[in-house]
Amino acid sequence: MHPPGIVKAALRAGVDAIAVCDHNSAENVAAVHRAGRKAGLAVLAGMEVTTEEEVHIVALLPDLESALTLQSRVYRALPGRNNDALFGLQVIANEEEEVLGFTDRLLVGATTWPVETVVAAIHELGGLAIAAHVDRERFGIIGQLGMIPPGLELDAIEVSARTPLPAARAQYAAPRGLSVLTASDAHEPKDVGKAVTYMLLERPEYAEVRQALAGRNGRAILGGGRPMEDLSLHILDIAQNAVEAGATRVDIDLVEDRAADLLAIGVRDNGRGMDRATAAAATDPFFTTRTTRRVGMGLPLLAAAARAAGGVLSLESEPGQGTRVKATFRYSHIDRAPLGDIETTLMVLLAGNPDVDVLFRHVVSGREFSLCSKDVRAALPGENLTSSHGLALLREAIRRGESQLAR
């Protein structure tokens, strides 16, 4: 996990920003920041502080100086010395992959600070305090304390990649009205970007993230999930491809028919389309028309997911006539990927492309929820979908429709 390796992994995953949050330390944040700046990746300063109750609290800090100040205070409250044979060497590296030294502090250990002290110390430095992986028994605040203390002034909560965001919102966030984030919690380069949070920001920087967590000035947390694993984010990827291909209209059909043991996804657009050779090559993982990634994995991964669940993927396209993608799955198949968070898909697609006409239709055993972006825009005279009012209206419509289907 040397600094340039982390940056390369993040760029491969297609993310715009990462936060470096080592356990009880910020020794390597500056090097990752420098490596990210060279490569065009935003790197936020952070730390994952372990409280005396063995609760992990993620600190996002305004800058490197505040991160190092927090580190100095944490080190004074962190007893013990590292056992290299047991826990491994704790390397301090630079952006050139060179080892500068080692720290012998017991970074895997717990500080002598209770959770309230940790949150207060983060806020004193202008930082954001986020309860990490609250869905995990070990090191999660609920698993360790049995609850989130009522007076604890958290700025958000985070769930691990294994918990879908709709369930996390209902179980953990609703009682307190906190924003919910998800992240890869990567300890190896291959896991960077395994789970991501989508935010509507002017720029990928700390001040903007702070506003998004508070829902101020049009900034917002749009949702999250596991790209290329959750089927809903496959839908988002295909729809975004359509917009990049010049589409002004995208129709999305999602059908769940348990009686027929079928799940079907259809995405149709009016973009520039593809000729026969391009369409034939589109499911090749080493073919892409994008300039932002070397390899185009969206359609190949969806095709693989469909085949793994006893289904197929079909693609129809003609130049100037748009493209139609359809993927089918055996609903009950043990290898069918989870549907994921439809709310995230629609929020990211519509907030990111407010002028594109999107018609979404979700059918579950004959019951239907449909959403038309034209109708939402019509309900916002003088405003657009990315205004605070627009985002709230959109989120409310999606949650109401999807909750009715779930019932």
286 pLDDT above the threshold of 50: no
Give pLDDT tens digits for 79-94.
Answer: 999 999 999 999 999 9
Model pLDDT, residue 175 = 66
Does the domain at 3-225 match CATH 3.40.50.300? Answer given as: no
Per cent of the chain over pLDDT 90 is 78
Three-state DSSP at 218 gives coil
Model pLDDT, residue 292 = 44
**pLDDT level of residue 328 (50, 70, 90 thresholds):** very high
284 pLDDT above the threshold of 80: no
DSSP code, position 23: B
196 pLDDT above the threshold of 90: yes
Q: What value does the mean pLDDT take over residues 358-377?
A: 95
Q: Which two tokens stand for residue 327?
A: 């993927």
Strand partners, 73: none
Per cent of the chain over pLDDT 70 is 96
Query: HEC states along 231-276?
Result: HHHHHHHHHHHHHHCCCCEEEEEEEEECCCCEEEEEEEECCCCCCH
CB 233 within 8 A of CB 338: no
Q: H-helix or E-strand containing 118?
A: helix 115-124
335 pLDDT above the threshold of 50: yes
CATH of region 231-406, choose from 3.30.565, 3.30.1070, 2.30.30, 3.30.720: 3.30.565
Model pLDDT, residue 117 = 97
**pLDDT level of residue 285 (50, 70, 90 thresholds):** low
**Domain boundaries defined on the chain:** 3-225, 231-406
